[in-house]
Structure 1
Amino acid sequence: MALFGLRVFNESGQLAMDTNSFTYQIIWQGVIDFSGSVPSYTIAIPGFNPANCVLMIIPTRAQDVQPSESDSSGNLRSYPYVTTAVGQVAVLPKNPSATTGLQSKVVSKAYAIRFAT
């Protein structure tokens, strides 16, 4: 029998999550664009709860994928800083406690996903 879906394994190689054992729903999707002068995003997402939801950010342009850790433009290609709360997600171009460094300039697709076992 062929298997289809997603399987996630933990650091010990044991199956931690399998799409056959839980359901998920995309409750929001949109573009996060830091290529211009947008300082941050605060997105209201009804039904979002950090206890059973995640926000996934996926780069949409090849130029936003860092080729190696030694790449000097890494901060420009880094993933944005995300904080979550019930009903909303905040996405910033860099860690708010950072005192130096460049901020992210990526363009990415974001998905808020609710899951249940």
Structure 2
Amino acid sequence: MSYGARVWDENGNLIMDTTTFTYQVIWQGVVDFSGTVGTYTFNIPDFNPANCVFMIIPTRAQDVQSSETDGLGNSKSYPYVTTSVGQVVVRFRNPSSSAGTIGSRIVAKGYAIRYST
């Protein structure tokens, strides 16, 4: 018996097959910008941007922007993420932004995921 999921496109071509595609969560933790922390640096062994991704998922309903015209859009925006081998840096705003730019104030769960085919 095989396990996994398969997805076909509109032409019947197999485009994803998790019976041959695997992934592994190699790190998970809280990313909390609700206080005074402006930057998190996570040293994650085996993280490599060539075969890993870093995702952020908000954990509080108040951190989800209700519409594009939401006046608190910047404070509900996703943080700025940079990756390198063995490390992920998450900042509450783009480092090239002016000092007066409002940064993210979300509380989220972060995941580092390694994948292979």
Q: Which moved more, 1:43-52 or 1:100-109?
A: 100-109
**Structure with the greater alpha carbon radius of gyration:** 2
Partner of 1:116: 116
Q: Whole-Å Cα distance in 2 between the matches of residues 60 and 101 of structure 1?
A: 23
Over aligned residue pairs, what C-alpha RMSD do you find? 2.2
Counterpart CA distance in 2 for 1:70 and 1:15 is 39
Provide the secondary structure at the position in 1 that maps to 2:62. helix
Aligned mates of 1:75, 1:41 — CA distance in 2:
18
Distance change >3 Å, CA 89–CA 16, structure 1 → 2: farther
CA–CA separation in structure 1 for the residues paired with 2:25 and 2:113 = 4
Distance 1:83 1:97 in 2: 13
Cα deviation 1:13-42 (Å, max 9, x = unaligned): x86544333100000000000000002000
**Aligned residues: percent identity?**
62
Match in the other structure for 1:105? 105
Tell me the distance in 1 between the aligned counterparts of 2:19 and 2:80: 31
Residue 50 in structure 1 maps to residue 46 in structure 2: no
User: How big is each residue's C-alpha offset from its partner over 1:78-105, in whole Å with a ceiling of 9 and x where there is no partner?
Assistant: 0000000000000000000111420000
- Tell me the amino acid that sits aligned with residue 27 of structure 2: W
State the alpha-carbon separation in 2 of the partners of residues 76 and 16 from structure 1.
37
Q: 1:16 to 1:94 in 2, by over 3 A?
A: farther
